[in-house]
Every structure is written in C-alpha cells, then in structure tokens.
Amino acid sequence: MATQPDEVQAALSRRYTAGFVTDIETDSLPPGLDEGVVRAISARKGEPEWMTEWRLAAYRRWLTMKQPDWAHVNLAPIDYQAISYYSAPKNQPKSLAEVDPKILEAYDKLGVPLHERARLAGVAVDAVFDSVSVATTAREQLSKVGVIFCSMSEAIREHGDLVRQYLGSVVPQGDNFFAALNSAVFSDGSFVFIPKGVRCPMELSTYFRINAGHTGQFERTLIIAEEDAVVSYLEGCTAPMRDNNQLHAAVVELVAMDRANIKYSTVQNWYPGDENGKGGVYNLVTKRGDCRGADSRITWTQVETGSAITWKYPSVILRGDRSVGEFHSVALTNHYQQADTGTKMIHIGRDTKSKIVSKGISAGKSQASYRGLVKVEKGAVNARNHTRCDSILIGKRCSSHTFPYMEIKNPTAIVEHEATTSKISDDQLFYCRSRGIGEEDAVSMIVDGFCKQVFRELPMEFAVEAKKLLEVSLEGAIG
C-alpha cells in the first residue's frame, strides 16, 4: 500500500492510443540510399532541376559526415541502407475530396478531423502521412489575406523563388549529420509565408503521421514572417506501435523579419517503444529560428512525451537588434525513453533577450537531459538571458542531467541560470491523498502544476491536449 519507488516502477505502464496502422496501398521506394534514390525522390515529386541539384549537394556533403555521438543517449548504430526513404499513399489526392477515406478516418481517430464539418474551429491543418502531405485545409480563407500555407512539395513547384531564397538559409545543408541527410532526402513538410503586415487570422497546424513500417520520415518545414507579420504554428506527431525503430529526422527553419512574431508549438507524441524499450521512433531533429529583423520575436514551445530517443535543440539566432527568443519546454520520459533536448540562444544583435524555461519529468528507467547553450557574440551589447531548468523524478531508476553551456564574449551581458531537481515528493503525494485524492490523480495533478508555466504558452486548444497527453503518459505511473 505504501508508495515505495519499486512499486511505482513496477506499475509503470503506459498505453499508447495512437498506435494503430492504416491499411492503404503505398508507393514506396525500396530500402537503401544512393544518388539514384535522391534523384528518384526528386523525380517522384516533379521537382525543378535546381532542387535536385540542391539535394545531391547535400547528399555528397552527408557522405563526408559522421553521426554525432556526443548527446547523452545510447543510440544504436543506424543502418541507413535498411530504411526506405519514400512512402506515399498510392492515390495521391488533388483535393481534400479525393483523400482516401481510410486516411481521413485515421486522422479522425487521432482527434484531428480534416473534413469540413468536424474541423477544429480557427485552425488550418496540413496533414502529412508518411512522406507526403495529404491535405491542407482552410486554404482559400488564408490566401485571401495573402498567407501561403501548403505542403513543401507544392511550394517548391508553385513558389519556387521563395523556397529557393530561404531554404537552407537558417539550417545550412552541412549544419549537422541529420540536417544533411534531411536536405538530401526530405519528402514533404509544410511551407508558410506571411506577407508584410499580416497577422495570420488562424492557428496553423501540421499533423505528422508515420504509418508505413521501415520508413524514415524526413520532413522539412519553412516558415517566413515578413515585416510586422504574426503567426502561431503548431505541429503534432504520432506513429503506430512497431517493434523496429523508426527514424524521424526533420528540419524546421523559421525566418522573422523586422517586428515579426513567430510562435512555434510542438506536441510530440511519437511512439516511444514498449515498456521493455523495444521499438519506438528516433526523433532527431534540427529546429532553428532566425530573428533576422530588428524587434522580431521567435518563441518555441514544446511538449514532448513520445519517441524512444529524442535529440532536439530548437534554437534562436538573435540577429536583429532588440530581438527576443524564447524556449518553453516540457519533456516527459518513461520506461526506456531517452531524451537529450534543450535549446541554443545565439545573441548577435544589440539589446537582445532570451528566456528559457525547461521542465523535465522522468519516470521508469528513462533518461532526460537538458542541454542548453547561451552564446553572446562580441557585438551583442546588453544581451540578457534567463534560464530556468527544473526536473522532477518519479521513482529511483530514472535520471536527469543538466548541461548548461555559456559562451560570453561581451562583458555587458547578463546571463542567469537557475536549476532545480526534485522528486515527486512523497509529502506532496500524501498530502493530496489525505484529502481524498487517489494516487494517480495526485501524480498528474502535481505534474500538471509543475508544467503550468509552459502550458500557459500553448494555444488554448492545445494546452488541454497537452495536459491530457501527460495524463495518459503517466497512466499507471504509481501503483
């Protein structure tokens, strides 16, 4: 009856509700990677030659690089020849009306209805199923105000100049091993362009779903906010339960011009593997925002409960004077999950500010690491950073680590770092129980309170979603 940590661990079980497989016909490339495969992907998507060449350059770059091993995770060697780099539903729809009903049903089950009747009010959705975008909703309404929101494939075909101008301008091809791989083989993703002075009239959202087995998902997202533009964007992700590990290596680039404001939120619920650490998604992602203009602002908010391995550091380059970068994160790991996540704030302009709030929750035998870099360049007069990093441990066999790095080259900088680690205290738990609240409800209540600061940053509908997600992830966390 007592809440001994061992019992806590023994009872740790989680049910992954997004773990179903949709049975549809697909057009997939056989596993393996070489220049022919890169060309085949480009050809399948009807890309112009400059794009094919861009991919090939990235591929050649990738061949010279090595998979990094410095993250605090045990990443088994990945056999890049065993992965299929392209999988698409066979009947590619031209419009929402042509989308395979089975796919619509899959999104319904995930709580992201795409059809007109049931759609979330005030949210436009781009749905990416395996390698390709299957539907983008609410487009007409957006195009009236000049906002472009479409799949990356379409953007390459229809808005080639914009893509060419910005693609790789924030995350260059050779930035890191996974970014290079993504640049070579990315299959789809979302493209957003908000013109000067436009405040995007609705939340934009992309929903990524890995369905096919033995498939890597390599999506590429590019968001451009011109002068005075404002946009809030949210991505959600799930994958079926499979025994083998699936690779997800995405690249997200954000560009904010003068006084532009981009809010990018992620609710990530990739399949984390089972309670014995089998299967699950490797989530190896490069996300970076460039506050290119003065007084611009980029905010990353993430709630991460999924993936077997997460390796992800959404960053902001504070180039414009007085620009502001924020990072708010909740990362929950359970069972054998490993997460190495954090952020980088690179201060270049004058009077730039950054704020980091990281909340790590570890249970089971999981490992959660926060890795954060605050860099203040020579010219960044009066840079300010505040970092707050809290971790909470549930049970005895999990661990949490904090790796703060600072590189300060300007003496006027003020950089503050606070870090706490606590156990879900037995005292708190008993206090709740003595008032009549059952153990599981007490745990999710305490964890929810711990995450409040970050949940406040999420768009309303998704804050509720995130809270529910944590509850599910903690289900049976205490026995």
Partner 1 sequence: MLKIENLHARIAGKEILKGLSLEVNPGEVHAIMGPNGAGKSTLGNVLAGRPGYEVTAGSVSYDGRDLLTLEPEVRAAAGVFLAFQYPVEIPGVNNTYFLRAALNAQRKARGEEELDSMQFLKLVRGKVKDMGMPPDLLNRAVNEGFSGGEKKRNEVFQMALLEPRLAVLDETDSGLDIDALKQVADGVNALRSPDRAFVVITHYQRLLDYIVPDFVHVLSAGRIVESGDATLARELEAHGYAWVREQAHAEAQA
- Binding to partner 1 (CB under 8 A) within 441-460 occurs at 441, 445-446, 448-453
193's tokens: 């362009």
Strands 251-256 and 280-291: parallel
- Binding to partner 1 (CB under 8 A) within 377-436 occurs at 425-428, 430-436
Nearest-approach distance from CB 387 to partner 1, in angstroms: 18
Q: Rank residues 275 and 448 by Cβ distance to partner 1 and give the closer one.
A: 448
> Under the criterion CB under 8 A, does residue 115 sit at the interface with partner 1?
no
> Under the criterion CB under 8 A, does residue 309 sit at the interface with partner 1?
no
Q: Rank residues 398 and 446 by Cβ distance to partner 1 and give the closer one.
A: 446
Nearest-approach distance from CB 354 to partner 1, in angstroms: 23
Q: How many of the chain's residues bind partner 1 (CB under 8 A)?
A: 27
d(CA 394, CA 332): 11
Q: Are 314 and 233 in contact (CB under 8 A)?
A: no
Q: Rank residues 79 and 427 by Cβ distance to partner 1 and give the closer one.
A: 427
Nearest-approach distance from CB 433 to partner 1, in angstroms: 4
Which residues lie closer than 8 Å to 256 by C-beta, 6 or more apart? Answer: 225, 262, 289, 290, 291, 292, 293, 296, 297, 298, 320, 323
Task: Tell me the backbone φ, ψ of residue 136, rounded to 5 degrees.
Answer: -125, 125
Q: Rank residues 421 and 428 by Cβ distance to partner 1 and give the closer one.
A: 428
Nearest-approach distance from CB 221 to partner 1, in angstroms: 31
Pick from 53, 285, 71, 58: nearest CA to 174 = 58
Nearest-approach distance from CB 432 to partner 1, in angstroms: 7
Figure out which of the listed residues 25, 105, 438, 464 binds partner 1, where binding follows CB under 8 A: 438
Distances (CA, A) of 285 to 155, 171, 421: 21, 11, 26
Q: Rank residues 445 and 472 by Cβ distance to partner 1 and give the closer one.
A: 445
> Under the criterion CB under 8 A, does residue 68 sit at the interface with partner 1?
no
Nearest-approach distance from CB 449 to partner 1, in angstroms: 3
DSSP E strands in 226-352: the ranges are 230-238, 245-248, 251-256, 261-268, 280-291, 297-304, 309-312, 315-318, 324-333, 338-347
DSSP E strands in 3-74: the ranges are 26-28
- The residues that touch partner 1, with contacts defined as CB under 8 A, are 1-4, 425-428, 430-439, 441, 445-446, 448-453
